[in-house]
Structure formats: structure tokens, C-alpha cells
Chains A and B, each alone.
Chain A
């Protein structure tokens, strides 16, 4: 038996060395005479075979009376649990094979988790040896570095495969091939399958796929791609002039052989950039002037001009209000108004985001007077603030770590409750002030949680926690702050975050274009943490300027920016556009406000905004909804006042245009430019000519003005309810 085990152990070592190829030398760095190290050799086995996963013994209360730390985050506890708990029955130092640990794992004894490995496996041999050596925690070495190869590989054909090798480096100078004890998870097992005997990854579908490799606390994403197209694309003609954005976007498109759609025409571009930067459609005059302009840099100059408008500050303040969840229910309308005012002023001046963050985290005072104070007035309790702060400034979902260590990331319950403890020292009424008291209970210890900078260090009692956290999070060296900011800006403008969703930044959710995200983050920091330079950079890129029309070969792309991704508009933008183009205002509240984008009280009664789907701020809205329509919205378009009344209004635009344009085609063109920001194209002209023929008398004349009014009201209605009008594309 022992002989078999040993033989199998060496056999698998040989297989491994063959697969690892170049890693041969390093793999031998581990001398066979060294005793097994619990932290770096046993814990990885527990992770690799799922023993310490959240669904098994890694659950907050363990499983079947046996509790391990999630993914082995606390090796000391785990060694105690294995060796000492249950009166030491989990290991049998004299007859290691009789250890519960091994009998359960091989299911020679009943085990809820089934058989994890068999007694001929190398890991069995490793655990057996560790037990025989006394089941100790030697802490012989610490992990310094993990190298996963390949990290990014492009294959040619379906069913091509590649071997994975994972080499760990330790502080005692040793290296070890840890491929066999590295857990490998395919994002999509139908696209990439993993053969654990050979540690080969086989790709079954075209496109780019991710396999996550986890060894101890290190997580690496392995990218595997097979190009979509079979033919190489021609390289971009103006390759040298590309911006940093296009360099990485086009590199990926070329790798995956996805052809890019051509540049959007001036009309399409104008509508897009006006909506994105001001929340308003261009007026027909603005549109015509832009299209008529003859200069090479007119798009660049338009972007600069729009960024300087007051509308830009107002609209992006609304975007931030949605993602901060500014709610007048908890802040009162006065607090909400102050918060909004402060936000739009920051945007108007393009204040550095790190300074704004610092203000939001450390301000004290009257929330009705000082807008930035309201950040700390938001969020329900210290827990809510800890979640809000990490989501907003780091793009991280800390909340999983409330009840247990985060299963997909390195956040622990100590981090969660430690950060909450910082915010617990606040008196939060209309006025926010610091208190010496206030604590939160750590659910595991039952004791007050120790204030802590997440993932970093505990704070001493005399440190100002808010200031320490604010300094840490806004420091240029913080790996989250700039990435979260630029990723959100990118998502607003490009329809999808480089990391998606934008508030779920973690090693196991890698960016689609990691180098681009790094470059943008670097640029953001270099430009003084200001938004406008990044917005300018993105809006001036070829990727932003492409048409949303697909071309053969890129129809299915929604990730690589081969064409512009159409997306929804905020309810406030749609309401404003409807009011603008119909020429009949929508009035809000008793004091008669007319610009929905500038409303600071999100609870102000408005059936229109409710029906159009404004962000309810109960939860943050990172991006506007693209859902085509609830029953209420569609029915309201059909039967409600919002459109019907505005089309028939004697003071409305349609009534005026019917007078102004006796020529039906001129009127048609006006309606198109007003709503879709472009004239009708040839096929549309043909279509409408036919419809006009049907609607008019045989001599081409209208039966009466009412017939004409009704016809164009119906055309206008068709335009206003179209997806084309209701989206940015």
C-alpha cells in the first residue's frame, strides 16, 4: 500500500514535470527531505479540493462540526481545527491512514462532501506525510510570488489546449511547482474545460475566456482566446497616431479578428456627444452648424466646448447623485439640495476627485449648509457607510464580508466590521460630528470590532479613523481609487465598464482590457485626479467615435467596442428631450421647475419621471436602465397625457411647424432632425412618400388641416416612442 502510494506520487511528479516543461529546474528546488509545511503545502490542498470553500467547511459556521477558514485565510486556526479539535481524532499521528481527515476525504468513511481524492493521489501522500511528521505548523517559509503560465494565450482552433503551470516562490529562496494544488475555475465550463490530470485547458468556443487560478491568497486570471474570424484583419492605417485608448482596443480587436465598424457620421456623433456630455439633444441649429463646419478638429473642439457648459456639470451631477444614491428621504430636501449643489460645483470646477473624496469622508458640520457632509449622512448605520464608502471610492462590494470572509476576494469580516467601527464614531443627525464613543459588535467575537483600514492594518485608539481611511483610500498608491473612478467614467461613455459590473472590482473579475484600465488610471492620477481629461480622452477616441451600426463579423460583440454600444438614457434626460422637442414644458413641483436634470429632490412627485423609470435611489443606479418598457411606460405612451397632450397642444411645436412648413417633406425632415438628430435617409424618404400618398387625396392635397395634423402627430408619436429616440447610440 505504502509502496503504491509512493510510486503514484513520483509518477504524478513526473507527469507534472513533463507538462510544466521549462519549469523543470525550479520544480526540483523543493528538496524531498524538507518536512511538509502546513501553511504553504497543506492549506493549498484544502483549497484545491474545495474543503475550505464557503459551501463546505469554509462556511461561517463550518460544516458537520468542522470549520476551516474560508480559502485558508487563517492557517493557524485551521491547523488547530484539524489537529486539536474533536479530541485530536481528525489526525492519527501513529496511523496516519486512520486519520479522519484522510478517511473522510477519500470517502472510506461517510462524508457529506463525497470523495475529494483517492489514496493513490499525490495529495494524499502529502497529507499522510504531514500527519506522520506530527501534524505541525512549521511556518517554514512564506509565499512571496506566484507565476502562472500562460497568463494570456491566443489559440487558433477549437479544441486546442494549453498546459498550465503554476510556480510558487518562497522567502527561503525555494521554488515549487504548485500546479497540482492550485485551484482552477473556468468561468464557463462549456467554453473552457479543465483536465486536472494533465492540468490542460481546452477551449471549445471562440472568443476570449477566463480561467481563475488560486493558490493560497493569490488569484490570477488566465485569458484564453480563439479569434472569431478566420482571416487576419488589415492593420489600422493610422496606427501611429492612435491614442492610448485605441491602441489597446484595437490590439484586442485584431487579436480576436473582430472588424471594427466605421466612424459614425457627424449627425450620429453629434447626438451621442451632446447626450453624453449635456443630457440634452442638440438643437437643430446647433446640429446644422456642426455638420456644416469644415475643419479636421471639429469633433475635438465640440467636446471641449460641451465640457465647459453648465449643462455638463448639471448632468454629471445627476449621474453621480444616482450612483451615490442621494435620497431626500434620508437627507431631507435641504440636505439633498446642498449635496447636489456641492457636486455640480465640483464638476463645474473639475475639482480633483481625491480632494472631493477626502472632503466627503472627513467633513463635519451642518448637512443643510455644507454639501459634502451629506455623504456621511447617507447609508444606514456604520455598516451601510462602510459598504457605501468602499463601493463609491473603491468599486468594491464589501458587503459579503459582513457575515463571512468574502468568498471571491480577500476581504475579511475584520475588514468589514473594522471599517464600520470607524464610522460608528460619528453622530449623524442633520449635523455630523465626531464622537469618542460608538462601536459596532464583531459578530464572530461578540466584542467591539477594532477600527481597521480594510486589508491593511488595525488602527490604534488615538488615531482619527476617518482621516486615516480617507488618506489611505485617496493615496496615489491605492490600487482601487483611480481604477474605480476611470472605470465608472468609461462605463458612462462606452456603455460597459472595462471591469463589469463597475462596483465589483476584484481579482476574480478581471478587466476586458487590463492594460487600458491601467493606462487610464495612470493618466487620471497624472492629471490630478480630474474627470474632464479622462472624459476628453475617451470622447476623442476612435472607439467612442464609431457608429453603432454593426458590420459583418462584429454583430455579436458587446464587449470589445468594435461598434458603439447603444444604451438607455436617464428618465430625466428623456423627460427633458420630450419637453424640448414638443415645445411643451413638463412642470415639476409647486415652484414650477422645468429642468428635470436639475431637480435636487428625488422624491418630488412626478408621474412622468416615475413612469420613465427614474432611479429610486433605494439602491444606487450605476447606469441607466435599457429596459424597453414596463406596462406602465408603454401604456402611458399609448394612452397617457405625456405625449398625446403635447402633440395636440395649440402652443406646441407641432402646431407651429404645421404652419411653418407647408411642404410635407420639409416638415418630415424637421421632425427627424429634432428627435433623431439627423435627416431621414433615402429609404425613409421613400417610406414616408408612400405613407403620404396613402394619407392624402388623389391630387396629393390634404383633405383638411385636421387630417394633416393627425398624420404628423402620428409620425411624431412614432418617432418619440421609438427605441432610436429613447436610447443613446
Chain B
């Protein structure tokens, strides 16, 4: 009865349910503080804090939603008993001493560009909580919802380019949210599967007869309706300077160059095949185009990694007798992205992250799957100032816990902030004037960045 090939995660919860946890103490502010708080948020908005000389000018996150198995991707345990080591064998890479899954041959050939962290560890084994931790650097808290890294970057970024700053290809994990920051820092979501022949980002061209003047007038009228309706009403989420989805869309449709970045038809068949004709492949291809066009953070979401059953089938074959499971597709897309970025001279300035919310249980379960396991898991980082060809940390013999150098999601996220030029100690203000550090509990992983 189980839906074996579902991309759903086991909990089936809508991500916004967790976003709603912002709870009883959301009101932590006195009446008299109100105006000062608003002022403070406006000021913190006015002074931007991104170091322009940072190595990583852009970031591509390949999010493996559901929790990828560390033991079947980047941290194999060939010496462990069969019920732990699982169905795959390791293969050597182009860096001696580093091995990865046999299903990742193309990635193995690029290992000199990739740094693996094998000692990630977190106490949170529920999808939403764990995703929140990985994407924001904070454990979820009933009282305050934290913004994800791309929203913080958008918030602090001054550029108002025709290409949106923060883009998600396919609907992202619900924890990629704006938290206490304005909703306008949310990603621009490209819906649908870009590898489908009929796919295109719809409605990019202005309708016949629509002049730029009328477009401008429509924009003004729309803003007037809302602003005049509100008068005294203050929208918390939209306080301060905001660059709404509408504003971003208006800029986008008026720039043919920016619109073209979404058009995969402009890629050669060779390149489209190189990335692979599947969601993650074409998602990565589009991500590269968007970064080239000036996007700062592109999230490519690949679902279906919540492999509670039939791990071999789902990771290797996809369906019985198939050759297109989760790992071969990832291998193709990821290796194409890294080598393409390198060929174009963009890898040094583009940070590429591969991760999901946690790892999987060392012991295979009765259904041939692995359940949630946050105790030890791996992430892969490349480009944008990362020193490749190395492994940071180590998990124990069965991949249960870090054996050396435990690294928390807070540490990882702080390192990512550092690479994109944001100081983790920087304080942001919530709408009600509460100062919150960009990152509170993390330490930069020095070896990763040389």
C-alpha cells in the first residue's frame, strides 16, 4: 500500500505549519518601544553589511530534501556489517585517500574541487526542525522564526538587479523562509520541472499593447490601492524598505537580458544532455544561467531523499531495472555544474553546497530503507573560497556519531555566511525591535576556507 516512489516526505506536513510556531511571546515589546523599534529596523536596513570582497559572490544550494543517506553517498563504511554498510561499495576519487559511493563516478573525478564534511551532527531528527536548523543555523524556537540564509543575504544586499537576488527552482523546503525579516526577502519560486519539454517560465513577455508607461502606471495604481487602504495600518512584515515580489517582477519583465536567463532553450542540446534531462540536472543548469546573470542565491530542490524503504532501488535505479535513481542523477547534475562553472571561470566565485536536513540510520530497517538520523551526516561544499580535495571530520565506525571534530549546523551556516561576506555576529532587528545575531552558536570551520 505504500507509495514507493513518492517524493513526499514521511511526515507529509506542510512546511508552513512549522512557520506558524512563532508563538506566544511574539509580542515581546512595549508600546512605547514601538516607534524606536521601527526606527531601528529601518536603520539596520539602511546600513548594509555584506563584504563585497568576499570570495563567494553567488551561491547555489542543491537541497536534497528528505535527508540523504550519508552512508550511501559520501561516507561509506565498507568494513561495517552488511546491515550497516548497505548495498553500495566505495570507489576511489581523484584525491588519494578519499572515497565516495560507486554511484558517484563523475563526482569522484572532481573531488579535488570538493570538500566533504563528514562529522555534521545535530540533535534534531524531524524534517521541519532539522531543515530549519540547517537552513537558518538556529534550532527552531516556539517564540521566534529565524530567516534562512538566502533571505538574510537578500535583506542585506543592496543590489536591485533585474534578475531576482534570491531564486528557488521548484518549490523549496518550507524552511527557506524569511522568518522575522520582511516577506519580500522570500525566494522567487520557479515552479514546475525545467527538464520537461513543455517547460518554460510562463508569462515573461508583456501582453500585446502593454506599453512600459502603462506597466508603470499599473504598478503605481496597485501600490496606491494598498497604501491608501492601510493608512494607519502597519504591516509588520513589510516594514522598512522592501523590495516586494511585484517590484522584482516588474524589473524582471522589463529586462530582456534577465528574462533570457530563465530560458533553457538557449542552451545547446549537448549542454542540456550533459546536466541531464531530469529535474535536478536542468535545475542546476538553470541555476548556472541565473548566477551568470547576477542572481546571488539559487536553491535547487531535489525531493525524494526520505528513503524509509527500498534504498537500493530508490537511490540507484529509480524503478526496478532503471538506471536513474537519485544518486546517478545527482552525480550527473552536480559534476556537470562544477565542471561547467570551472570552465567558465565562475567556480572560484560561486559556492556550491550539497546537503539535506540529516543523514539516515546506520542500520537498514526491515523495509530495506534507512530512517532519519541526525547524529552524523555529511555535506559537500565546492567553489567560492572552499579548499577542495579534503575531508573535514570523521564519523565513527558505523556512521552513528562524529568520531572527530563534531560540526553543528550552526557552525556550517556560520561558515557559509562568512564565505558570502556576512559576519555572523552582525545583529539584525525583528519587526518589534528585538536584536538577533545573524548566527549565534556557530564557529567558522577554518580548514574549509584555507
Q: Is A722 in contact with B222, judged by CB distance below 8 angstroms? A: yes
Instruction: Describe B's contact surface by its main secondary structure.
Output: loop
Q: Is B222 in contact with A717, judged by CB distance below 8 angstroms? A: yes
In the complex, which residues of chain A have a beta carbon less than 8 angstroms from the beta carbon of B214? Answer: 710, 714
Q: Is B203 in contact with A640, judged by CB distance below 8 angstroms? A: yes
Compute the total of residue contacts between A and B using a CB distance below 8 Å: 241
Interface bits B186-206 vs A (CB < 8 Å: 1, else 0) = 101111000000000111111
Measured CA separation A558–B20 after assembly (Å):
11
Surface stretch bound by B, among A159-167, A331-339, A361-369, A547-555: A547-555
A718 at the A/B interface (Cβ < 8 Å)?
yes
In the complex, which residues of chain A have a beta carbon less than 8 angstroms from the beta carbon of B201? Answer: 631-632, 635
- A-contacting residues, B142-166, CB 8 Å: 142-144, 164
Q: Is B24 in contact with A208, judged by CB distance below 8 angstroms? A: yes
Q: Is A639 in contact with B207, judged by CB distance below 8 angstroms? A: yes
B87 at the A/B interface (Cβ < 8 Å)?
no
In the complex, which residues of chain B have a beta carbon less than 8 angstroms from the beta carbon of A402? Answer: 10
Interface bits B1-27 vs A (CB < 8 Å: 1, else 0) = 111001010111110111011111111
Q: Is B203 in contact with A636, judged by CB distance below 8 angstroms? A: yes
CB contact under 8 A between A559 and B26, given known A619-B13, A639-B203, A721-B246: yes
In the complex, which residues of chain A have a beta carbon less than 8 angstroms from the beta carbon of B125? Answer: 54
Question: Considering only CB atoms and an 8 Å cut-off, how many residues of chain A contact the other chain?
Answer: 91
B217 at the A/B interface (Cβ < 8 Å)?
yes
In the complex, which residues of chain A have a beta carbon less than 8 angstroms from the beta carbon of B97? Answer: none
B218 at the A/B interface (Cβ < 8 Å)?
yes
Q: Across the interface, name the chain B residue whose C-beta is closest to A258.
A: B27
Q: Is B25 in contact with A207, judged by CB distance below 8 angstroms? A: yes
Q: Across the interface, name the chain A residue whose C-beta is closest to B9.
A: A619
B102 at the A/B interface (Cβ < 8 Å)?
no
Q: Is B190 in contact with A676, judged by CB distance below 8 angstroms? A: no
Contact of A638 among B22, B28, B206, B220 (CB under 8 A): B206
Measured CA separation A630–B24 after assembly (Å):
29
A503 at the A/B interface (Cβ < 8 Å)?
yes
- B-contacting residues, A600-643, CB 8 Å: 610, 618-622, 625, 627-632, 634-636, 638-640
In the complex, which residues of chain A have a beta carbon less than 8 angstroms from the beta carbon of B221? Answer: 691, 714-715, 717-719
In the complex, which residues of chain B have a beta carbon less than 8 angstroms from the beta carbon of A230? Answer: 30-32
Question: Considering only CB atoms and an 8 Å cut-off, how many residues of chain B contact the other chain?
Answer: 90
- A-contacting residues, B378-435, CB 8 Å: 401, 431-432, 434
Measured CA separation A620–B4 after assembly (Å):
20
B343 at the A/B interface (Cβ < 8 Å)?
no
CB contact under 8 A between A631 and B228, given known A549-B233, A639-B205: no
A446 at the A/B interface (Cβ < 8 Å)?
yes
Surface stretch bound by A, among B321-329, B349-357, B364-372: B364-372
A435 at the A/B interface (Cβ < 8 Å)?
no
Q: Is B21 in contact with A723, judged by CB distance below 8 angstroms? A: no
B253 at the A/B interface (Cβ < 8 Å)?
yes
CB contact under 8 A between A556 and B34, given known A403-B372, A629-B246, A635-B249: yes
Q: Across the interface, name the chain B residue whose C-beta is closest to A205.
A: B28
Top 10 A-B pairs, shortest CB-CB distance? A718-B221, A188-B143, A205-B28, A55-B123, A207-B27, A381-B1, A722-B225, A635-B203, A639-B203, A634-B249
Residues of A within 8 A of B (CB): 54-55, 59, 61, 112, 187-188, 190-191, 205-210, 228-230, 256-258, 380-382, 387, 397, 399-400, 402-403, 428, 441, 443, 446, 496, 500-501, 503-504, 509-510, 512, 548-553, 555-560, 610, 618-622, 625, 627-632, 634-636, 638-640, 644, 676, 681, 683-684, 687, 691, 710, 714-715, 717-719, 721-725
Mind listing 12 A-B residue pairs with CB under 8 Å?
A188-B142, A207-B24, A207-B28, A207-B29, A210-B142, A559-B26, A559-B27, A630-B171, A631-B190, A634-B248, A639-B206, A639-B207
